[in-house]
Structures are given as C-alpha cells and as structure tokens.
A = this chain, B = another copy of it.
C-alpha cells in the first residue's frame, strides 16, 4: 500500500467495479438469466476474451456474480447474479431515471 487512502466515498469501489468496459452490459445480460463466457464473447461485439474473462472474474471476486460449474450434459460454467448483485438492480433502475 502507498501512504493510505484516507476518507473516500463509500460507493467508490462499487462504481469503479461496475463502470469498467463491458461490465454494465454483462450485468444487464445477467439480469435476464445466467451468462456464459462464450455466449458473451458472441454477443458483445468487439469484446475480447481477455476483457470478458477479467470482467467476469472481478464481478465474481467482488461478490456480485456467482460462478457455477454445471456438470450436466454439455459441461459448462454459468455466472449468475448473487444476492448482492440482485440488490444492485434497483439501483441501476434509479440511475436510469436520473439520466
């Protein structure tokens, strides 16, 4: 750590987390249902594997998404909104109203 970040806006971390490139879109997709790596790669025109990978990891590490390994038939991984993630949905809606 540097010298220490005194004060700070409490919402800052969350704002940063949610504003990265592709994050809002990924979040929006996730509101409608589970999201998958390759699906996003197809749907988000212009997004790279790397970006999607990083976005999903960060969203998961910060507890907004849950990562589920589905051992069924095709064997794949699903990302879904966690409870904390769900709690953000109304905040997003409010944000839209302000725009």
- Please tell me how many copies of the chain the complex holds: 2
What residues of B have a CB within 8 angstroms of the CB of A88 in the complex? 95, 98
Which chain B residue shows the least CB distance to A44? B7
**Contact A91 B87, beta carbon cutoff 8 Å:** no
Which of A10-18, A33-41, A67-75 lies at the binding interface?
A: A10-18
Interface residues, chain A, with chain B CB atoms under 8 Å away: 6-16, 18-19, 24-25, 27-28, 45, 84, 87-88, 90-92, 94-99
Contacts A/B (CB < 8 Å), 25 sampled: A7-B25, A8-B24, A8-B25, A9-B27, A9-B28, A9-B92, A10-B95, A10-B99, A11-B92, A11-B95, A11-B99, A12-B19, A12-B25, A15-B15, A15-B19, A15-B24, A16-B19, A18-B19, A84-B98, A87-B97, A87-B98, A88-B95, A90-B94, A91-B98, A94-B94
